[in-house]
Amino acid sequence: MTTLAESIPTAVRRRSFTVWYKDLGRWDIGYFSTLSWAWPPEIMQPLGSVLTRVVREVKTSDLRSVPIIEKITFGGVASVLPVDDRDGYKGRLFWAEPGQFVYSRIRAKQGSFTVIDPVVGRLAVSQEYPVYDIDRGRIDPEFLKIALRSEAFLRLMVGLSHGGSTKTRMLPDQFESLKVPVPPLSVQRRIVAAAAKTRNQAARLQTEADLLESNAKREFLELLGLPIPKIGAGSPRHFVVQFRDIERWGVRHLWQSSNRLDPVGTRYEGSRLGDVIEDLENGWSPKCFDTPATGEEWGVLKVGAVSFGVFNPQENKALPPKLKPRPQLEVKAGDFLIGRANVTRLVGACALVRETRPKLMLCDKIFRAVWREPSPVIPDFLEEVLKTPHVRQQIEAALTGTSATMKNITKGNLLALRFPLPPIAVQRRIVASLSLARRDARQMRAKAAALLTQTSGSVEQMILGALQP
């Protein structure tokens, strides 16, 4: 017996098609996207048949305490206007109750809509966020969200939205006239279940990957004898410092002194960065082009090349032809780089250069380690240990600069950073263990991404009516 889906031609995007004048709802090429659905005509219903507009204005007496939706993300998360910003709010507000559907007139084409979560409770919205009751006897809210975020429907809204590129609008009458598939609830729920099953599988893989990496980092700290940071713990409110340990008078520097590595509390003797490398050198920051170097051009690294703990050669600026390059500053594989200036959380970010394009030079906001021969530390271990909470505390305690957006750390303070230094053989062993855990975590995340990609394609076909759920 032929199924409904098998009797319907597969939906495709057509380069040409014929339209009867009597079928034209609007003279707009975007309108023709409605023809890509593969469901029988009776299944395709206007949104207004399953959504009923609700307009209930918020009373003036409620304005001070009501939570106001500031925006709805493209993923459907509603963020609320901060309390401090509500008093000056002007304009009419309307109630959005739990379980109701709300969309953004300005960002409808990107999928900016949500169903108000009962946990969130009632909210208020401006006139830019139309509110609707959902006919749950005809359409499942989860199916509705999946259908409206399908590629076919989003493509349709892109074609029909009015206005400029950043302020396009989808007005309520037009939105309500758009057709979506409304198959039997049993079919809708099978599609929702198919999507949810894979999302849950992918979420489990992501959780396992996060746990694997977290445990590996914890084991790394334990092997070095360093304290495990407590979740949510901030800077201590009080601490004890010996007078002989004070190098500079100031709360942050006193904290740094109190936080010095205690050899008794670690498995290995503490060492300074200046004890394991010969020196730190920085580069040159001439006036460059704003675009990255291409081809045979020379470039100068930006601080962003190391800001996130992995070397990124794309973060560079092309050197103007009139300036002569300095080959001695060229960055090569095996170099160890440390950022000296950035926002607080990124100062001291470091990265080992494993591979790079040629003709990229060091800038003056990045230090490069000069290795000792023979070196008492392997680069991979140094990269890991300088990212531990213990070392990060030392870095942030030593920062200088009054600007909130640009802090600095001196070469001397970097060379004074202390950390446990096990023998080379032990360094290699614990770094290998950490690398193995990260590799396994990457594989889990890749599997999760592949599952989501595969399922999104299948669900898209189900929504279009071209695949039996």
Considering only residues 260 and 424, tell me which one the structure prediction assigns the higher pLDDT.
Answer: 424
Whether the model clears a pTM of 0.85, i.e. scores above it, the answer is no
Q: Tell me what pLDDT residue 185 has.
A: 96
Nearest by Cα to 135 from 54, 56, 49: 49
457-466 pLDDT per residue, tens: 888 888 888 8
Structure tokens at 459: 């669900």
More confident residue, 265 or 13: 265
Mean pLDDT of the chain: 84
* C-alpha angle 17-23-28 in degrees, rounded to nearest 5: 65
Comparing 16 with 377, which gets the higher pLDDT? 377
Going 107 to 113 to 116 to 120, the CA torsion angle's sign is negative
Q: Which of 398, 331, 407 is nearest to 369 (CA)?
A: 331
Range of weakest confidence among 137-146, 302-311, 446-455 = 446-455
- Per DSSP, the residues of 259-286 read T---GGGSSS-EEEHHHHEEEEEE----
291 or 402, higher pLDDT: 291
What the block records as the tokens of 125 is 């919205």
Higher pLDDT, residue 374 or 248? 374
Nearest to 401 by CA among 252, 224, 211: 252
- Per-residue pLDDT of 185-230, as tens digits, reads 999 999 999 989 988 999 999 999 999 999 999 999 999 988 887 6
pLDDT at residue 392 tops 60: yes
Q: Which fold has domain 236-265+269-421?
A: Adenine-n6-DNA-methyltransferase TaqI; Chain A, domain 2 (3.90.220)
* Amino acid letter, residue 281: E
pLDDT in tens, 286-344: 999 999 999 999 999 999 999 999 999 999 999 999 999 999 999 999 999 999 999 99
- C-alpha–C-alpha distance, residues 271 and 420, integer Å: 6
Residue 426 in this model has a pLDDT that exceeds 50: yes
Question: How far is 211 from 260, CA to CA, in rounded Å?
Answer: 29
CATH class of 21-182: alpha beta
End-to-end CA distance of the chain: 16
| 160-176 average pLDDT score | 73
pLDDT of 263 strictly over 50? no
What is the four-CA torsion angle of 311, 312, 313, 317, rounded to 10 degrees? -120
Average pLDDT of the residues in 115-121: 89
Residue 404 pLDDT class (50, 70, 90 cuts): confident
Q: Could you read off the pLDDT of 28-82 as tens digits, one per residue?
A: 555 554 556 789 999 999 999 999 999 999 887 776 677 888 888 888 888 887 6
Q: Which residue has the higher pLDDT, 63 or 244?
A: 63
Better pLDDT: 4 or 425: 425
Residue 166, pLDDT above cutoff 70: no
Cα-Cα-Cα-Cα dihedral sign, residues 445, 451, 456, 459: negative
Q: What is the mean pLDDT of residues 234-263?
A: 51
Reported confidence tier of residue 88, pLDDT bands at 50, 70, 90: low
